């Protein structure tokens, strides 16, 4: 007879267990501020910030402080006076799971920690190829898949930031025009902490037989977070968001999806389901979900958008 033993590199916490780890971390956000930070169909309330986000912020502050101490000791060891480089947090997960909301709330909390560190936020949408390139290469139906990103530009950006360079530029993506803005940029100027948020940011690089594989964006992270939820919930949230967008952003004549603004409920649901099933679900299964176990912290949502389980990688 053989005994099957279930191993895991993670410590698992219920919501109640995780909430206790807040300790004496102060709440520095108001309910009004949380409302301005949450996404279109997010329902995050102040208790979610208290019970989930504050322990996360406390943990991240510990990592930032100790990483900086290690950096100083390493500089002494090397006999150098190197430039302090940002602590980079990577955040991945599916479309409609709430990554952007989580990133904005963590940015606000971390920036209000003692010493008021400079915390920058970078969505990786700006590194998508322009629509003209995607159309030329036949990739419009693969938008959001790994091959739709300018990986070389993204790697160059990550390398420059992690090298301590100043005023590193990143392109900006417009959800209104559904395209990269070729004339507008965001400047990342030596922040203490940089949050990098996107669909495929936790992907590893493909390995080569000679051991000279090209690095990927995840190789530059000091800590990584995966925001998780079951497929059926993600689909429901995506459809719900699509309906909300029909009533808001899609009504703008400049919107790439303006044609959907006059659709009936039945037509809108059909379009949303098709987009989810043929594009977003495929990307989730093929590229996003397989990176979940590479994260240092996995936060799992329930049907009410509230996080009910936390997994923290063992040291």
Model confidence at 216, in pLDDT bands (50, 70, 90)? confident
Ordered by start, the domain boundaries in the chain are 10-313
The pLDDT score that the predictor gives to residue 1 is: 47
Least-confidence region, from 5-14, 65-74, 165-174, 239-248: 5-14
The pLDDT score that the predictor gives to residue 3 is: 55
Any idea how long the chain is?
Answer: 315
Q: Which of 168, 184, 186 is nearest to 176 (CA)?
A: 184
The pLDDT tens digits of the residues spanning 84-101 come to: 899 999 999 999 999 999
User: The whole model's pTM is what?
Assistant: 0.94
The pLDDT tens digits of the residues spanning 227-270 come to: 999 999 999 999 999 999 999 999 999 999 999 999 999 999 99
DSSP bridge pairs for 87: 193
The pLDDT tens digits of the residues spanning 137-179 come to: 999 999 999 999 999 999 999 999 999 999 999 999 999 999 9
Q: Spelled out in words, what is the top-level CATH class assigned to the domain 10-313?
A: alpha beta
**Cα separation of 37 and 100, whole Å?**
9
Model confidence at 5, in pLDDT bands (50, 70, 90)? low
């Amino acid at each position: 007879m053989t005994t099957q033993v279930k191993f895991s590199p993670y410590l698992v916490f219920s919501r109640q267990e995780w909430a206790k780890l807040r300790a004496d971390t102060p709440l520095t956000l108001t309910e009004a501020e949380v409302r301005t930070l949450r996404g279109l169909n997010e329902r995050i309330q102040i208790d979610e910030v208290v019970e989930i986000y504050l322990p996360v912020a406390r943990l991240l502050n510990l990592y930032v402080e100790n990483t900086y101490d290690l950096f100083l000791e390493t500089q002494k060891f090397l006999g150098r006076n190197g430039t302090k480089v940002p602590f980079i947090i990577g955040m991945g997960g599916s479309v409609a799971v709430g990554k952007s909301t989580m990133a904005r709330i963590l940015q606000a909390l971390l920036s209000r920690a003692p010493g008021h560190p400079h915390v920058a936020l970078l969505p990786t949408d700006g590194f998508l190829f322009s629509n003209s390139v995607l159309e030329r290469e036949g990739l419009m139906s693969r938008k959001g898949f790994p091959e739709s990103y300018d990986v070389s530009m993204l790697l160059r950006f990550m390398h420059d930031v992690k090298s301590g360079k100043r005023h590193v530029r990143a392109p900006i993506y417009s959800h209104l025009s559904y395209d990269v803005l070729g004339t507008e940029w965001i400047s990342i100027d030596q922040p203490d902490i940089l949050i990098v948020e996107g669909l495929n940011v936790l992907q590893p690089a493909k390995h080569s037989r000679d051991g000279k594989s090209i690095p990927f964006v995840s190789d530059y992270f000091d800590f990584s977070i995966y925001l998780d939820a079951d497929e059926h919930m993600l689909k429901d949230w995506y459809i719900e968001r699509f309906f909300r967008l029909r009533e808001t952003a899609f009504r703008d004549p400049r919107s790439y999806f303006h044609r959907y603004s006059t659709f009936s409920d039945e037509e809108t649901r059909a379009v949303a389901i098709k987009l989810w099933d043929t594009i977003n679900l495929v990307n989730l299964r093929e590229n996003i979900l397989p990176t979940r176990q590479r994260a240092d912290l996995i936060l799992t949502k329930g049907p009410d958008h509230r996080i009910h389980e936390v997994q923290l990688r063992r040291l």
